[in-house]
Amino acid sequence: MSLGRTCTLYTGAQIPTIGLGTWLSKPDEVRKAVLHALKTGYRHLDCAYVYRNEDEVGQGLRESGVAREDVFITSKLWNTHHRPEYVKAAVRASLRALGIEYLDLYLIHWPVSFVPNGAPEDTLTVPTLEYLFPQKDGNVHIEDVDFAATWKAMEELVDEGLVKHIGVSNFDIPKIEYVLKNARIRPAANQVELHPGLLQPELLEFCKKEKIHITAYSPLGNNIYGKERIIDDPAIKNIAKKLNKSPAQICIAFAAQRGVSVVPKSVTPSRIEENFQDFILDKEDFDEVSKLGARNIRYNDPGTEEWNVKIF
Protein backbone atom coordinates (compact mmCIF):
# COMPACT_ATOMS: atom_id res chain seq x y z
CA MET A 1 0.00 0.00 0.00
CA SER A 2 0.98 3.65 0.13
CA LEU A 3 4.08 4.69 2.02
CA GLY A 4 1.96 7.48 3.48
CA ARG A 5 4.26 10.13 2.05
CA THR A 6 3.24 13.78 2.22
CA CYS A 7 4.65 17.04 0.90
CA THR A 8 4.76 20.21 2.97
CA LEU A 9 3.34 23.52 1.77
CA TYR A 10 5.05 26.75 2.85
CA THR A 11 2.40 27.19 5.56
CA GLY A 12 3.38 23.86 7.11
CA ALA A 13 0.21 22.13 5.87
CA GLN A 14 0.65 18.60 4.56
CA ILE A 15 -0.57 17.46 1.15
CA PRO A 16 -0.63 13.67 0.57
CA THR A 17 1.85 12.71 -2.15
CA ILE A 18 -0.58 10.54 -4.10
CA GLY A 19 -4.05 11.84 -4.88
CA LEU A 20 -6.95 10.88 -7.12
CA GLY A 21 -7.41 12.88 -10.30
CA THR A 22 -11.02 13.33 -11.45
CA TRP A 23 -10.53 14.76 -14.96
CA LEU A 24 -12.33 13.04 -17.87
CA SER A 25 -14.44 10.87 -15.57
CA LYS A 26 -17.88 9.98 -16.95
CA PRO A 27 -21.22 10.39 -15.11
CA ASP A 28 -21.49 8.24 -11.97
CA GLU A 29 -17.98 6.83 -12.58
CA VAL A 30 -16.34 9.55 -10.53
CA ARG A 31 -18.65 9.01 -7.53
CA LYS A 32 -17.70 5.34 -7.47
CA ALA A 33 -14.04 6.15 -8.05
CA VAL A 34 -13.90 8.65 -5.18
CA LEU A 35 -15.72 6.25 -2.87
CA HIS A 36 -13.34 3.41 -3.73
CA ALA A 37 -10.26 5.63 -3.49
CA LEU A 38 -11.19 6.92 -0.04
CA LYS A 39 -11.92 3.39 1.17
CA THR A 40 -8.53 2.34 -0.25
CA GLY A 41 -6.81 5.03 1.80
CA TYR A 42 -6.49 8.04 -0.49
CA ARG A 43 -6.76 11.36 1.34
CA HIS A 44 -6.15 13.77 -1.56
CA LEU A 45 -8.76 14.60 -4.22
CA ASP A 46 -7.99 16.78 -7.22
CA CYS A 47 -11.08 18.47 -8.67
CA ALA A 48 -11.98 21.36 -10.97
CA TYR A 49 -15.09 23.31 -11.97
CA VAL A 50 -14.45 22.53 -15.65
CA TYR A 51 -14.54 18.76 -15.00
CA ARG A 52 -18.32 19.12 -14.52
CA ASN A 53 -18.41 16.39 -11.87
CA GLU A 54 -17.72 18.06 -8.53
CA ASP A 55 -21.23 17.15 -7.36
CA GLU A 56 -20.36 13.48 -7.81
CA VAL A 57 -17.03 13.92 -6.05
CA GLY A 58 -19.02 15.31 -3.13
CA GLN A 59 -21.40 12.33 -3.21
CA GLY A 60 -18.47 9.93 -3.08
CA LEU A 61 -16.93 11.83 -0.18
CA ARG A 62 -20.17 11.74 1.82
CA GLU A 63 -20.80 8.04 1.11
CA SER A 64 -17.27 7.12 2.20
CA GLY A 65 -17.83 8.23 5.78
CA VAL A 66 -14.34 9.79 5.82
CA ALA A 67 -14.32 13.08 7.73
CA ARG A 68 -14.00 16.20 5.58
CA GLU A 69 -11.02 17.45 7.60
CA ASP A 70 -9.11 14.26 6.85
CA VAL A 71 -9.14 14.82 3.07
CA PHE A 72 -7.06 17.40 1.16
CA ILE A 73 -9.34 18.78 -1.57
CA THR A 74 -8.18 20.94 -4.47
CA SER A 75 -10.37 22.72 -6.99
CA LYS A 76 -9.65 25.24 -9.74
CA LEU A 77 -10.96 28.58 -10.95
CA TRP A 78 -12.11 28.29 -14.56
CA ASN A 79 -11.16 30.70 -17.34
CA THR A 80 -14.62 32.32 -17.47
CA HIS A 81 -14.26 33.59 -13.90
CA HIS A 82 -10.98 35.53 -13.93
CA ARG A 83 -12.59 38.94 -13.59
CA PRO A 84 -12.23 39.79 -9.87
CA GLU A 85 -15.99 40.15 -9.31
CA TYR A 86 -16.51 36.57 -10.58
CA VAL A 87 -13.97 34.75 -8.42
CA LYS A 88 -16.05 34.36 -5.26
CA ALA A 89 -19.05 33.14 -7.25
CA ALA A 90 -16.83 30.50 -8.82
CA VAL A 91 -15.49 29.11 -5.56
CA ARG A 92 -18.96 29.12 -4.02
CA ALA A 93 -20.22 27.06 -6.98
CA SER A 94 -17.50 24.47 -6.41
CA LEU A 95 -18.17 24.39 -2.68
CA ARG A 96 -21.92 23.91 -3.31
CA ALA A 97 -21.29 21.10 -5.76
CA LEU A 98 -18.83 19.36 -3.45
CA GLY A 99 -21.05 19.90 -0.42
CA ILE A 100 -18.21 21.28 1.70
CA GLU A 101 -17.49 24.57 3.47
CA TYR A 102 -13.89 25.17 2.41
CA LEU A 103 -11.20 24.03 -0.01
CA ASP A 104 -7.69 23.14 1.05
CA LEU A 105 -6.28 24.52 -2.20
CA TYR A 106 -7.80 26.67 -4.97
CA LEU A 107 -5.86 27.20 -8.19
CA ILE A 108 -6.16 29.49 -11.22
CA HIS A 109 -6.59 26.66 -13.72
CA TRP A 110 -5.06 28.27 -16.82
CA PRO A 111 -3.34 31.58 -17.59
CA VAL A 112 -6.03 32.28 -20.21
CA SER A 113 -9.24 34.26 -19.67
CA PHE A 114 -12.58 33.70 -21.40
CA VAL A 115 -15.41 36.22 -21.61
CA PRO A 116 -17.98 35.11 -18.99
CA ASN A 117 -21.51 33.98 -19.80
CA GLY A 118 -23.86 36.05 -17.66
CA ALA A 119 -23.38 37.83 -14.34
CA PRO A 120 -21.49 36.39 -11.33
CA GLU A 121 -24.77 35.53 -9.61
CA ASP A 122 -25.71 33.41 -12.64
CA THR A 123 -22.78 31.03 -12.09
CA LEU A 124 -23.93 27.44 -12.58
CA THR A 125 -23.18 24.92 -9.82
CA VAL A 126 -22.47 22.23 -12.41
CA PRO A 127 -21.67 24.00 -15.68
CA THR A 128 -22.59 23.09 -19.24
CA LEU A 129 -19.98 22.98 -22.00
CA GLU A 130 -21.62 26.03 -23.60
CA TYR A 131 -21.21 27.94 -20.36
CA LEU A 132 -17.56 26.94 -19.99
CA PHE A 133 -16.50 27.70 -23.55
CA PRO A 134 -18.21 30.92 -24.75
CA GLN A 135 -17.93 31.33 -28.51
CA LYS A 136 -17.32 34.25 -30.87
CA ASP A 137 -17.04 33.77 -34.63
CA GLY A 138 -16.55 30.03 -34.19
CA ASN A 139 -13.72 30.32 -31.64
CA VAL A 140 -13.53 30.47 -27.86
CA HIS A 141 -14.10 34.09 -26.80
CA ILE A 142 -10.80 35.17 -25.19
CA GLU A 143 -10.35 38.35 -23.15
CA ASP A 144 -7.43 39.97 -21.35
CA VAL A 145 -7.70 40.01 -17.55
CA ASP A 146 -4.81 41.16 -15.37
CA PHE A 147 -3.78 38.18 -13.21
CA ALA A 148 -2.82 40.59 -10.44
CA ALA A 149 -6.49 41.55 -10.13
CA THR A 150 -7.61 37.91 -10.22
CA TRP A 151 -5.00 37.06 -7.60
CA LYS A 152 -6.20 39.80 -5.27
CA ALA A 153 -9.70 38.30 -5.44
CA MET A 154 -8.19 34.87 -4.71
CA GLU A 155 -6.48 36.30 -1.62
CA GLU A 156 -9.85 37.50 -0.35
CA LEU A 157 -11.08 33.89 -0.43
CA VAL A 158 -8.35 33.00 2.07
CA ASP A 159 -9.28 36.02 4.22
CA GLU A 160 -12.89 34.82 4.32
CA GLY A 161 -12.04 31.19 5.13
CA LEU A 162 -13.47 29.80 1.90
CA VAL A 163 -10.08 28.34 0.96
CA LYS A 164 -6.97 27.59 3.00
CA HIS A 165 -4.38 27.99 0.25
CA ILE A 166 -4.31 29.51 -3.22
CA GLY A 167 -2.10 28.73 -6.17
CA VAL A 168 -1.83 28.44 -9.93
CA SER A 169 -1.85 25.78 -12.61
CA ASN A 170 -0.11 25.66 -15.98
CA PHE A 171 1.86 28.83 -15.13
CA ASP A 172 5.43 29.21 -16.42
CA ILE A 173 8.20 31.06 -14.57
CA PRO A 174 7.52 34.59 -15.92
CA LYS A 175 3.81 34.32 -15.09
CA ILE A 176 4.57 33.09 -11.56
CA GLU A 177 7.05 35.93 -11.11
CA TYR A 178 4.32 38.39 -12.07
CA VAL A 179 1.94 36.88 -9.49
CA LEU A 180 4.66 36.96 -6.81
CA LYS A 181 5.42 40.61 -7.55
CA ASN A 182 1.78 41.50 -6.91
CA ALA A 183 0.96 39.00 -4.16
CA ARG A 184 0.03 39.67 -0.56
CA ILE A 185 -0.49 35.91 -0.07
CA ARG A 186 2.05 33.80 -1.93
CA PRO A 187 1.04 30.94 -4.23
CA ALA A 188 1.22 27.67 -2.31
CA ALA A 189 1.28 25.42 -5.37
CA ASN A 190 1.58 25.19 -9.14
CA GLN A 191 -0.09 22.19 -10.79
CA VAL A 192 1.50 21.31 -14.12
CA GLU A 193 1.85 18.50 -16.63
CA LEU A 194 4.77 16.41 -15.45
CA HIS A 195 5.81 12.91 -16.49
CA PRO A 196 8.98 11.08 -17.63
CA GLY A 197 8.72 12.67 -21.09
CA LEU A 198 8.27 16.23 -19.72
CA LEU A 199 10.54 16.87 -16.73
CA GLN A 200 10.47 20.71 -16.62
CA PRO A 201 13.60 20.91 -14.42
CA GLU A 202 13.92 24.72 -14.58
CA LEU A 203 10.32 25.18 -13.41
CA LEU A 204 10.79 22.68 -10.57
CA GLU A 205 13.98 24.40 -9.44
CA PHE A 206 12.35 27.85 -9.55
CA CYS A 207 9.31 26.69 -7.57
CA LYS A 208 11.51 24.95 -5.03
CA LYS A 209 13.45 28.18 -4.51
CA GLU A 210 10.19 30.11 -4.08
CA LYS A 211 8.69 27.43 -1.78
CA ILE A 212 5.88 26.77 -4.26
CA HIS A 213 4.79 23.14 -4.19
CA ILE A 214 4.43 21.29 -7.50
CA THR A 215 1.61 18.85 -8.22
CA ALA A 216 2.00 16.66 -11.30
CA TYR A 217 -1.03 16.08 -13.46
CA SER A 218 -1.10 13.60 -16.36
CA PRO A 219 1.80 11.68 -14.74
CA LEU A 220 1.30 8.87 -17.25
CA GLY A 221 1.10 11.23 -20.21
CA ASN A 222 -2.50 11.85 -21.24
CA ASN A 223 -3.61 10.88 -24.69
CA ILE A 224 -6.58 13.14 -25.53
CA TYR A 225 -4.91 14.40 -28.71
CA GLY A 226 -3.91 10.94 -29.94
CA LYS A 227 -0.17 11.28 -29.30
CA GLU A 228 2.12 8.38 -28.43
CA ARG A 229 1.88 7.64 -24.71
CA ILE A 230 4.95 7.78 -22.50
CA ILE A 231 3.82 4.74 -20.47
CA ASP A 232 4.10 2.68 -23.65
CA ASP A 233 7.82 3.46 -23.99
CA PRO A 234 9.99 0.30 -23.88
CA ALA A 235 12.15 1.75 -21.09
CA ILE A 236 9.11 2.12 -18.81
CA LYS A 237 7.76 -1.30 -19.77
CA ASN A 238 11.11 -3.04 -19.17
CA ILE A 239 11.52 -1.55 -15.69
CA ALA A 240 7.91 -2.42 -14.87
CA LYS A 241 8.46 -6.01 -15.93
CA LYS A 242 11.69 -6.27 -13.92
CA LEU A 243 10.02 -4.94 -10.76
CA ASN A 244 6.72 -6.78 -11.30
CA LYS A 245 4.89 -3.45 -11.40
CA SER A 246 2.69 -1.79 -13.98
CA PRO A 247 4.06 0.96 -16.28
CA ALA A 248 1.66 3.37 -14.55
CA GLN A 249 3.14 2.51 -11.16
CA ILE A 250 6.64 3.26 -12.48
CA CYS A 251 5.54 6.71 -13.70
CA ILE A 252 3.79 7.52 -10.41
CA ALA A 253 6.74 6.39 -8.31
CA PHE A 254 9.07 8.43 -10.51
CA ALA A 255 6.98 11.58 -9.98
CA ALA A 256 6.74 11.09 -6.22
CA GLN A 257 10.49 10.56 -6.01
CA ARG A 258 11.04 13.99 -7.58
CA GLY A 259 9.43 15.56 -4.51
CA VAL A 260 6.10 16.47 -6.08
CA SER A 261 2.58 15.30 -5.36
CA VAL A 262 0.92 13.38 -8.14
CA VAL A 263 -2.76 12.95 -9.11
CA PRO A 264 -3.26 10.01 -11.50
CA LYS A 265 -6.82 9.63 -12.76
CA SER A 266 -8.60 6.30 -12.85
CA VAL A 267 -12.15 5.05 -12.45
CA THR A 268 -11.17 1.37 -12.43
CA PRO A 269 -11.08 -0.04 -8.87
CA SER A 270 -8.04 -2.27 -9.49
CA ARG A 271 -6.06 0.61 -10.99
CA ILE A 272 -7.09 3.00 -8.23
CA GLU A 273 -5.60 0.49 -5.77
CA GLU A 274 -2.56 -0.15 -7.95
CA ASN A 275 -1.78 3.56 -8.29
CA PHE A 276 -1.77 3.89 -4.50
CA GLN A 277 0.90 1.21 -4.02
CA ASP A 278 3.75 3.61 -3.44
CA PHE A 279 7.38 2.39 -3.67
CA ILE A 280 10.90 3.70 -4.24
CA LEU A 281 12.82 3.25 -7.50
CA ASP A 282 16.52 2.52 -7.12
CA LYS A 283 18.96 5.00 -8.64
CA GLU A 284 19.63 2.92 -11.75
CA ASP A 285 15.94 2.65 -12.64
CA PHE A 286 15.21 6.27 -11.71
CA ASP A 287 18.04 7.48 -13.95
CA GLU A 288 16.85 5.26 -16.80
CA VAL A 289 13.36 6.76 -16.61
CA SER A 290 14.86 10.26 -16.41
CA LYS A 291 16.49 9.79 -19.81
CA LEU A 292 13.03 9.96 -21.40
CA GLY A 293 12.96 13.65 -20.46
CA ALA A 294 15.00 14.33 -23.59
CA ARG A 295 11.79 13.76 -25.56
CA ASN A 296 10.18 16.87 -24.00
CA ILE A 297 6.62 15.90 -25.01
CA ARG A 298 3.77 18.12 -23.86
CA TYR A 299 0.48 16.23 -24.20
CA ASN A 300 -1.89 18.87 -22.84
CA ASP A 301 -1.78 22.22 -24.62
CA PRO A 302 -5.34 23.38 -25.33
CA GLY A 303 -4.02 26.82 -26.23
CA THR A 304 -2.42 25.37 -29.34
CA GLU A 305 -4.91 22.58 -29.97
CA GLU A 306 -8.20 24.38 -29.26
CA TRP A 307 -8.09 27.99 -28.08
CA ASN A 308 -5.74 29.60 -30.63
CA VAL A 309 -3.63 31.24 -27.92
CA LYS A 310 -0.02 30.71 -26.83
CA ILE A 311 0.33 29.40 -23.26
CA PHE A 312 3.74 27.73 -23.14
Quick check: is 217 catalytic? no
Active-site residue (options: 42, 49, 51, 86) = 51
Point out which residues pair with 45 in neighbouring strands. Answer: 20, 73
C-alpha to C-alpha distance for 208 and 225, rounded to whole angstroms:
31
Half-sphere exposure (CA, 13 Å, Cβ side) for 103? 30
**In degrees, to the nearest 5, what angle opens at C-alpha 300 toward C-alphas 85 and 59?**
60
Helical axes 283-290 vs 234-243, angle rounded to 10°: 160
Cα separation values, 229 from 78, 94, 226, 248, 262, Å: 27, 32, 8, 11, 18
C-alpha to C-alpha distance for 185 and 34, rounded to whole angstroms: 31
Residue type at 259 in one-letter notation: G
Residues acting as catalytic residues: 51
